[in-house]
Copies of this chain bind each other. A is one copy, B any other.
Amino acid sequence: MKMRKNAVVLSSGGIDSTTAMAMTRDQGFKIYSLSFDYGQRHRCELAAARRVADYLKVETHLVVCVDMTAIGGSALTADMKVPKGRGMAEMSSDIPITYVPGRNTIFLSYGLAWAEVVNASHIVIGVNAVDYSGYPDCRPEFIAAFQTMANLATKAAVQEGRRIQIDTPLIHMTKAQIIQTGAALGIDYGLTHSCYDPPGEGLACGRCDSCILRRKGFLEAGIEDPTRYVP
């Protein structure tokens, strides 16, 4: 019997990471789901990540506490206003204040550590270069540089020749294509959460960058959006 390989999947409980996880599972990997409690104002994404982990029957779901409020510098972790009602052009022209310094670098570093411990051959991250968020640490050139660094960082790679590959299955997909792919794999997007500034339990503001990208994605995919936006 062929052994199934292990993959660490970074999970935010949103559309992208959930779809990336479903695609990875569909390829036959055992899933090690990894989420981060980093003091984000939209902490309900952690409940969504847990729902997704249960739904996709992962091997282990781990939530790591990451002390980013001590570091500071972002609207997502500090008491700054999340921008609302921005157009697509505005979103892609600038790095928004919801940028969290070092976030994906820190998240991938934990992913690398856990991948080494659980013998995972892959780390999967749902970054995406098309519906561009404006974050520097979501770009293909950043991921490629992280891969080069990772190949030199671990005992697994250096002593055992066991390199850990960083996969970005969504990198060239639009939000609409991502949603269509996940829907075809049976994902119920009602389990997921995207809003940066949720106005209440189970609700989404509909006007932050994340909500705008989500709404537009469902519209373009021709799939009904299960999200409850406040009017």
Task: Point out residues on A near B: beta carbons under 8 Å.
Answer: 62, 64-68, 70-73, 94-95, 99-106, 109-110, 112-114, 116-117, 136-137, 139, 141-142, 145-146, 148-155, 157-159
Contacts and interface: CB of A to CB of B under 8 A. Distances in A.
B146 A158 contact: no
Given A73-B113, A102-B114, A137-B154, 16 more contacts: A62-B70, A64-B70, A65-B65, A65-B67, A95-B159, A101-B116, A101-B155, A102-B113, A105-B150, A105-B153, A106-B113, A136-B152, A136-B154, A137-B152, A137-B153, A142-B152
A116 B145 contact: no
A116 B99 CA distance: 12
Nearest to A102: B113
* Residue of A70, A94, A99, A102 most packed against chain B (CB within 10 A): A102
Contacts of A117: 71-73, 101
B67 A71 contact: no
Contacts of A149: 105, 142, 145-146, 148-149
A69 to B, nearest CB: 10
A107 to B, nearest CB: 9
A178 B67 CA distance: 32
A49 B113 CA distance: 24
Number of copies: 2
A76 to B, nearest CB: 13
Contacts of A154: 101-102, 136-137
Contacts of A151: 145
A143 to B, nearest CB: 9
- 7 shortest A-B CB distances, which residue pairs? A102-B113, A73-B117, A145-B149, A101-B116, A136-B158, A101-B113, A105-B109
Contacts of A65: 65, 67, 70
Contact of A104 (B110, B116, B153): B153
A72 to B, nearest CB: 5
A158 B106 CA distance: 18
